[in-house]
């Protein structure tokens, strides 16, 4: 990276007793970039954001924002960042304007400067007409937008967005993603955590894949997909799959990775354009009931599968069950 990074993380470790939540994570984010932290629930993304937001202290390692150490000079570092937590961190019985005025004051804004900035942001998130309404009267999407606006009041160098689209409908999700894109085109650096592959692919200039506290890969989408050497992905939705047939497919030299999920199978293909008939023949001869077969180009899902041997949504489900 040629320019001075706005976020620099070096060998960051966070332990809770025996549990290692963040395990020697290092990465850098350049000014003006949208950097995504992609990983299943419980991978350690939120802990990384908490350390960078000065809410949690690291066990070891270092992190800086605009060259300011988040541990030794946390008050200054905090004034440079905007934080949008996963939860709707707003006061439900206060109005949108009252919330923004309060959070602005927490960042040292006063009087007319604050009032002007609040008006600007209400306009940016398209809620000027609802400024006087209480937050508990808002829809989920409107709350999300005010939640983001509260992180932008003091014009931070970098905005941390921690899974801002969890639990919202597709159209609201799209409007949030568009808002983040718009803010980025205006020059804002964004650190975005998500467990949705499509969000990371749509939004992020570069992605760091996090699993079990470790950063297992960092790069642009193309860099990451090229790194696994796959030329295609075959996704099969089927019933009646067993381990024997999956193992047989995984042993084919044209297939670099095979992973089962609840409703089917994903295969990373490294070469062999005519592999599809072989796969279908083998599955049908083994008594598998095939519902659909898709052939796609490699994506971040393929990268995650290649690196962990599991699909991302599969690991999310596992972690949710554990929680």
Partner 1 sequence: MKALHIALKDLRMRLRDRNTLVMMLLLPVGMTAIIGFAFGGESGISTVEFLLVAPEEGGFLVDAAAGFLSQHELFDVERASEEEARRAVADGERSAAVMIPEGLVDSFLSGTPAEVRVLRDPASSIKAGIIQSMVEQVVSSVSAGSALGRGVFETLDKDEPLSDSEQLALWGWMFMWMRDAWTEPPVSLDTADADTVDFDVHAYFAPGFAVLFLLFTMLTSAKTIHEERESGTYGRLMAAPLSETSIIAGKMLGSYVLAALQILTLIALGSLFFGIEWGSHPGATVVMALVTAAGATSLAMLIAAAARTGRQTDNVGTAFILVMSLLGGSMWPIEQAPEAFQRFGRFTFNYWAHGGFKKLIFDDAGLAGITQEIAIISAMSAVFVVLAVLLLARRRA
Instruction: List interacting residues with partner 1 (CB under 8 A).
Output: 50, 53-55, 75-76, 78-79, 81, 83, 85-94, 98, 102-103, 105-108, 150
Beta carbons of 290 and 9 less than 8 angstroms apart: no
We find the least distance from the C-beta atom of residue 53 to partner 1, in angstroms, to be 4
We find the least distance from the C-beta atom of residue 134 to partner 1, in angstroms, to be 9
Please state, in angstroms and rounded to a whole number, the distance separating the CA atoms of residues 257 and 252.
10
- The distance of Cα 199 from the centroid of its chain, to the nearest Å, equals 7
CB atoms within 10 A of CB 322: 8
- The distance of Cα 171 from the centroid of its chain, to the nearest Å, equals 18
SS3 at position 70: coil
Residue with Cβ nearer partner 1 (29 or 269):
29
Residue with Cβ nearer partner 1 (106 or 273):
106
Residue with Cβ nearer partner 1 (107 or 248):
107
**Residues contacting residue 100 through CB under 8 Å, at least 6 positions apart:** 118, 121, 122, 146, 149, 150, 153
Beta carbons of 58 and 22 less than 8 angstroms apart: yes
Residue with Cβ nearer partner 1 (36 or 85):
85
Residue with Cβ nearer partner 1 (74 or 227):
74
Residue with Cβ nearer partner 1 (62 or 76):
76
Q: Where are the alpha helices (DSSP H) in the chain?
A: 45-52, 74-80, 96-106, 111-124, 140-150, 170-185, 197-203, 221-227, 243-250, 275-285, 300-308, 312-322
We find the least distance from the C-beta atom of residue 121 to partner 1, in angstroms, to be 16
- Bridge partners, 239 (sequence order): 289
We find the least distance from the C-beta atom of residue 48 to partner 1, in angstroms, to be 14
């Amino acid at each position: 990276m040629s320019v001075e990074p706005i976020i620099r993380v070096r060998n960051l470790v966070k332990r809770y007793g025996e549990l290692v939540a963040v395990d020697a994570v290092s990465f850098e984010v350049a000014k003006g970039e949208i950097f995504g932290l992609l990983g299943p629930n419980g991978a350690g993304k939120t802990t990384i954001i908490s350390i960078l937001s000065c809410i949690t202290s690291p066990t070891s390692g270092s992190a800086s924002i605009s060259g300011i150490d988040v541990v030794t000079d946390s008050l200054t570092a905090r004034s440079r960042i905007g934080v949008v937590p996963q939860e709707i961190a707003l006061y439900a019985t206060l109005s949108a304007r009252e919330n923004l005025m309060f959070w602005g004051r927490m960042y040292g804004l006063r009087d007319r400067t604050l009032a002007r900035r609040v008006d600007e942001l209400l306009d940016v998130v398209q809620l000027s007409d609802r400024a006087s309404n209480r937050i508990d009267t808002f829809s989920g999407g409107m709350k999300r937008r005010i939640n983001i606006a509260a992180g932008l009041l003091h014009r931070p160098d970098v905005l941390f967005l921690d899974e801002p689209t969890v639990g919202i409908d597709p159209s609201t999700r799209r409007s949030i993603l568009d808002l983040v894109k718009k803010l980025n085109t205006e020059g804002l650096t964004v650190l975005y955590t998500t467990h949705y592959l499509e969000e990371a692919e749509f939004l992020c200039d570069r992605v760091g894949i996090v699993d079990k506290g470790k950063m297992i890969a960092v790069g642009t989408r193309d860099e990451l997909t090229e790194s696994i050497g796959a030329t295609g992905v075959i996704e099969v939705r089927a019933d009646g799959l067993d381990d024997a047939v999956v193992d047989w497919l995984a042993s084919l030299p044209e297939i670099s990775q095979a992973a089962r999920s609840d409703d089917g199978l994903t295969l990373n293909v490294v070469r062999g354009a005519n592999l599809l008939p072989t796969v279908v023949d083998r599955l049908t001869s083994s008594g598998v009931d095939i519902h659909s077969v898709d052939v796609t180009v490699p994506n971040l899902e393929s990268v995650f599968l290649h690196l962990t041997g599991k699909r991302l949504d599969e690991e999310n489900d596992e972690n949710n069950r554990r929680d």
